[in-house]
């Protein structure tokens, strides 16, 4: 109960202090600044959480990918239709190439919905990361690899389930015993960021992803590290 009250107070304070930034933040400007003007290596989309205040760890991930020559696009969680339209346009313009979706909090909820829509268009999501999703829908059949970081205790983030007959790989990683890590800063956890970045590079380079049905539950101590997660 104490942590819930602290979280609510934090939201109120950040709303009051950050209102100007929320209005002025421009995901298109960020994407343009970091984009590679040549044919994209893939559709790498990162979706921020509520109020466009939190999820600063996604900015860091996008920045590190840019330093490695990989363009990523940042969106607000309310921009679901824009995300889908952008991916469909890129897939039409450049031919099918890897789709990677990463989201935090409400942004994690959003990308699960985006994947469901993409499934109706016959598009696969090669790699998805949901971080502290608050109300996740089941993972759709077109997601080849999904890693969900959640909190079983002492946090705010739900496990992700999959639709019946899910043919991909789904791993739920419990972050609740990680010291000083909670819903609002889990995306800034260095080991988690390194793992995500390494996996993005790995799945972009893979010419084909082998489909294998697998649903796993792991503690962070066994799963979160700098090496790509299998």
Q: Which domains does the chain have, with CATH numbers?
A: 26-223 (3.40.50.1820)
First to last CA, the chain: 36
* Tokens 């970091």, located at residue: 34
pLDDT for the residue 52: 74
Q: What is the pLDDT of residue 2?
A: 41
pLDDT tens digits, 69-115:
999 999 999 999 999 999 999 999 999 999 999 999 999 999 999 99
Distance of CA 129 to the CA centre of its chain: 4
Looking at residue 49, what is its pLDDT?
94
For the chain, what is the radius of gyration of the CA atoms? Answer: 17
d(CA 64, CA 90): 22
- Contact call for residues 58 and 75 (beta carbons, < 8 A): no
**Residue 29: exposure state from Cβ atoms within 10 A (0-12, 13-18, ≥19):** exposed
Which portions of the chain are predicted below pLDDT 50? Answer: 1-37, 226-228, 230
Locus of tokens 């946090």: 155
Q: pLDDT by residue (tens digit) across 212-226? A: 567 777 776 555 554
d(CA 113, CA 183) in angstroms, rounded, equals 20
Opening angle at CA 206, ends 64 and 214, nearest 5: 100
* Cα(204)–Cα(137) distance, integer angstroms: 26
Buried b or exposed e, range 123-138, using 16+ CB within 10 angstroms: bbbbbbbbbbbeebee
| Contact (Cβ atoms closer than 8 angstroms) between residue 117 and residue 100 | no
The residue whose two tokens read 């962070």 is 220
Contact 133, 112 (CB under 8 A): yes
């Amino acid at each position: 109960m104490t942590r819930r009250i602290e979280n609510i107070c934090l939201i109120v304070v950040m709303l009051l202090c950050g209102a100007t930034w929320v209005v002025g933040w421009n995901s298109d400007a960020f994407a343009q600044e970091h984009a590679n003007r040549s044919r994209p290596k893939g559709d790498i989309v990162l979706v921020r959480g509520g109020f466009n205040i939190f999820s600063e760890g996604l900015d860091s991930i996008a920045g590190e990918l840019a330093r490695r020559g990989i363009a990523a696009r940042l969106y607000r969680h309310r921009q679901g239709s824009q995300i889908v339209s952008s991916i469909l346009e890129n897939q039409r313009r450049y031919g099918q190439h890897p789709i990677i979706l990463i989201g935090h909090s409400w942004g994690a909820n959003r990308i699960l919905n985006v994947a469901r829509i993409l499934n109706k268009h016959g598009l696969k999501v090669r790699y998805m990361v949901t971080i502290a999703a608050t109300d996740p829908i089941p993972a759709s059949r077109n997601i080849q690899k999904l890693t969900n970081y959640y909190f079983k205790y002492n946090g705010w983030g739900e496990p992700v389930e999959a639709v019946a007959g899910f043919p991909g790989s789904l791993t739920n990683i419990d972050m609740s015993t990680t010291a000083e890590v909670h819903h609002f800063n889990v995306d800034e956890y260095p080991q988690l960021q390194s793992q995500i970045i390494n996996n993005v590079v790995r799945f972009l380079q893979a010419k084909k992803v082998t489909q294998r049905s697998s649903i796993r539950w792991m503690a962070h101590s066994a799963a979160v590290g700098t090496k790509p997660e299998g």
